[in-house]
C-alpha cells in the first residue's frame, strides 16, 4: 500500500486525466478502500484542489479553482511545456515573453537532468525563422532570470555595438524586452556603473559569480532608462526635437529601440533619438511628415539648412510637375 503522501500524488495524477472516476475505480488503482479514497479527496480539497463529486453514482473529477494549485506533469508533458514556454519567450507576442521566461526558469530548476537534456537537444536542432541578428536563446534568458532571483553575479563575453569584444562581470537586476530584442540591466562591477546589455550579444560563462546584495535601481522608470541607453546614448549625435503631433502617434512609428517619446501636450511631444550621422537624424525626423523644431545638437540646425539648399537645388534640373488647372484645384478629390 502506498504511503499517504505518495498516494495523494498518485490520486492527483489520476484526477488530472480529463474524465470522471468512480470511487471504486480509484480504490482499485490505489489499492485502498473507498473510504480512504473519500478521505484523500478531502485532503486534496484542503490543499486547494477543486474536486467535484458527480451526481448519481459516486464519482470524482478535477475542476478549476480560484487559484492555480501545483500540477503534476509526466515526462512528455514536462518537455512539451518547456519547449512551448521557450518558444513563447522569443515569439514577439506582446506581454507574454517575460512571463514565459519566469515560468520557464522555475520549470527548468526542477526538471530532472534527463529531461533538461531532451529539451536542450530539441532546441539545438531547431532553427527559428526570425531575424538572426536579434535571435535569443531561451536557455540564456532563463539562466539570467534564475541569477536575478538568486542574486548571483554573472560572468560573460560581450560584443559592444562597435564590434569590440571583452569579458564582463555584472550584478543582474532585470530583463527588459522590446519586440524580439532582450536587454539586461545590470551593475557592471568592472566599470562601477549601471549598464544595459543586449542579450543576443553576450555569451554566458559558467559557473556564476558570487552572490550580491541588490543595489538601488538606476531609475524609477526602467523602461525609460533602457530606451534612452539603446536609442540615444550610444551614438555620436543625440537629437532632441519638439514634434507637433500626439505622443502616441509618434511612438507608434518610433519604437523604444529607435527613440524616446515624451508627451508635452495633447498635440505635441519631445522626441529624443541618436545617430552617428547628421543626415540620418534629419531624414528620420523629416520622414515623420509633421512639423518639428530642432533643439539638439546645434550642428544639426546648420546641417538641415545645407541639406534643404541641396534638395532645392536638385529640383531645378528635374522635370516640372504638370500644371494644375483652376477647375482641377477646386474639384473635390
Scored b (16 or more CB within 10 A) or e, 243-277 reads: bebbbeebbeebebebbbbeeeeeebbbbbbbbee
pLDDT of residue 70: 65
SS (HEC) of 173-216: EEEEEECCEEEEEEEECCCCEEEEEEHHHEEEECCCCCECCCCC
pLDDT for 333 equals 45
Number of Cβ within 10 Å of residue 226's Cβ equals: 23
| Residues 29 and 36: beta-carbon distance below 8 Å | no
Q: Is 298 exposed, middle or buried (0-12, 13-18, 19+ CB in 10 A)?
A: exposed
pLDDT attached to residue 189: 95
Distance CA(289)–CA(156), nearest Å, equals 43
Q: In the prediction, which pLDDT does 127 show?
A: 55
Please give the grid coordinates belonging to residue 67.
Answer: 487559484
Give 182's strand partners. 177
Distance (Å, rounded) from C-alpha 228 to C-alpha 258?
A: 9
Cα–Cα distance for residue pair 105/56, rounded to 1 Å: 44
CA dist., res. 186 & res. 170, Å (int): 6
Give the model's pLDDT for residue 313.
Answer: 82
Is the pTM for the entire model greater than 0.85?
no
Confidence (pLDDT) at 170: 96
pLDDT (tens, 9 = 90+) of the chain, 333 residues, equals: 457 777 888 888 788 776 788 888 899 999 999 899 989 999 888 888 888 887 656 578 887 765 556 666 777 777 788 777 777 766 655 556 677 777 777 777 767 878 777 777 766 656 555 555 456 777 888 889 889 988 999 999 999 877 889 999 999 999 887 766 789 999 999 999 999 999 989 999 999 999 999 999 988 888 888 888 877 777 889 999 999 999 999 988 888 878 889 999 999 999 999 888 999 889 888 888 899 999 999 999 889 888 888 888 887 766 666 665 656 545 554
> Among residues 147, 10, 134, 145, which one has the least CA distance to residue 72?
10
Amino acid at each position: 500500500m502506498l504511503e499517504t503522501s505518495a498516494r495523494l500524488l498518485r490520486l492527483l495524477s489520476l484526477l488530472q486525466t480529463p474524465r470522471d472516476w468512480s470511487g471504486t475505480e480509484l480504490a482499485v488503482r490505489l489499492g485502498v478502500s473507498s473510504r480512504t479514497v473519500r478521505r484523500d479527496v478531502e485532503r486534496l480539497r484542503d490543499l486547494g484542489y477543486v474536486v467535484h463529486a458527480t451526481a448519481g453514482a459516486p464519482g470524482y473529477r478535477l475542476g478549476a479553482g480560484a487559484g492555480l494549485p501545483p500540477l503534476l506533469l509526466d515526462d512528455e508533458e514536462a518537455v512539451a511545456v518547456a519547449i512551448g514556454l521557450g518558444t513563447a519567450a522569443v515569439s514577439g507576442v506582446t506581454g507574454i515573453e517575460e512571463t514565459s521566461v519566469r515560468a520557464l526558469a522555475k520549470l527548468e530548476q526542477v526538471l530532472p537532468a534527463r529531461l533538461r537534456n531532451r529539451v536542450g537537444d530539441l532546441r539545438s536542432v531547431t532553427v527559428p525563422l526570425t531575424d538572426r541578428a536579434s535571435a535569443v536563446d531561451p536557455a540564456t534568458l532563463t539562466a539570467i532570470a534564475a541569477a536575478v532571483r538568486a542574486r548571483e553575479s554573472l560572468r560573460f563575453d560581450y560584443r559592444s555595438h562597435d564590434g569590440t569584444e571583452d569579458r564582463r562581470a555584472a550584478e543582474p537586476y532585470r530583463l527588459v524586452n522590446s519586440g524580439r530584442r532582450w536587454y539586461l540591466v545590470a551593475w557592471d562591477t568592472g566599470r562601477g556603473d549601471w549598464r544595459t546589455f543586449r542579450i543576443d550579444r553576450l555569451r554566458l560563462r559558467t559557473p556564476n559569480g558570487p552572490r550580491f546584495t541588490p543595489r538601488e535601481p538606476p531609475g524609477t522608470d526602467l523602461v525609460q532608462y533602457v530606451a534612452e541607453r539603446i536609442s540615444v546614448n550610444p551614438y555620436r549625435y543625440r537629437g532632441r526635437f519638439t514634434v507637433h503631433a500626439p505622443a502616441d502617434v509618434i511612438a507608434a512609428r518610433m519604437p523604444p529601440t529607435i527613440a524616446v517619446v515624451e508627451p508635452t501636450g495633447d498635440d505635441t511631444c519631445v522626441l529624443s533619438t541618436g545617430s552617428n550621422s547628421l543626415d540620418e537624424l534629419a531624414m528620420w525626423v523629416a520622414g515623420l511628415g509633421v512639423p518639428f523644431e530642432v533643439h539638439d545638437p546645434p550642428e544639426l540646425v546648420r546641417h538641415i539648412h545645407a541639406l534643404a539648399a541641396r534638395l532645392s537645388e536638385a529640383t531645378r534640373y528635374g522635370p516640372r510637375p504638370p500644371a494644375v488647372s483652376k477647375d482641377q484645384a477646386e474639384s473635390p478629390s
